[in-house]
Chains A and B, each alone.
Chain A
Amino acid sequence: MNQNMDPADVLAAADALAAADESRTKMAERLYTPVWYHPLVGAAMSMFGLAAGLAAARRGWSDVLVMGGLFICVGIVLAYRRITGVALTGPIGPRSQRMLIVVGVVGILLMLAGLGLFSQVAVNWPWIVAYSLVVIVLITILGRRYDDILRDEIRSGAQL
């Protein structure tokens, strides 16, 4: 195919690749996550961790916390779709896939920490606030890093 190609076709191919790059860049720019997104994910996760601890200690409020966390999760996913016009269903390339696994493992560990913490110690506001802050900060840092990698991979045309 390459040997007998018209030079005009070759230049057209370069133009087409440039157009494809531009399309990827616009998609990456579109996927800027709102600033409130990851803190709210962290808040929902801290509610799940607190709920697990309270349930293990046979105290009340765990159902309410789980429902509240689920409500936040559904709300932010729908809001993200509406704001960006994109409903992502997974990572783009190998780097974002690895980062997603890291975020998932850290999320599970944080919820287990909540389970251990609130099933053992007296549940009071200082503990709840401290635990929630740790979860929100960690999830926000990791979530934003994941988004940066995702956008880099979209721009570069990476794929799994």
Chain B
Amino acid sequence: MTTASFDELIHQPHRLRICVALSVPGEVSFQALCDDLELAMPTLSKQLKMLADAGYVKTSKARGEGRPTTWASLTPKGRKALQGHLAALRELAAQVEGGDA
């Protein structure tokens, strides 16, 4: 059972979309995040760093052919915070459907 808990850090639109994209089990490449979220690399780097500093995201570099690739994943702490935040957003949005707004 997820407890609804509004998270100021995740609520920023770019960071929310990043966390949702990273909510799949495993890792997502930096380039894939840039493409899907239509974010410039410096913007994505900055937002990922903020999430990593909070312990929500883990990044790693893998050297394959040519340039090293950066991979990012959500930590258990980040996953819990995202689920709580989404639950809080659903509670709020339900007010619109319920006509309370």
Contact = CB atoms under 8 A, between A and B. Distances in A.
B11 interface: yes
A19 B101 CA distance: 20
Contact of A7 (B21, B27, B29, B101): B101
B28 interface: yes
Given A7-B101, A24-B20, A1 B88 contact: yes
Secondary structure dominating the interface of B: helix
B16 A20 contact: yes
A85 B28 contact: yes
Q: What size tier do the contact residues of chain A reach?
A: 35 or more
A1 B6 CA distance: 10
Main secondary structure of the interface of A (DSSP, over half): helix
A86 B36 contact: no
18 contacts: A1-B92, A2-B92, A2-B100, A13-B88, A13-B89, A16-B16, A19-B13, A20-B16, A23-B16, A24-B20, A27-B21, A30-B32, A85-B28, A86-B28, A87-B26, A87-B28, A89-B25, A154-B24
Interface of A: 1-2, 5, 7, 9-11, 13-14, 16-17, 19-20, 22-24, 26-27, 30-31, 78, 81-82, 84-92, 154, 157, 159
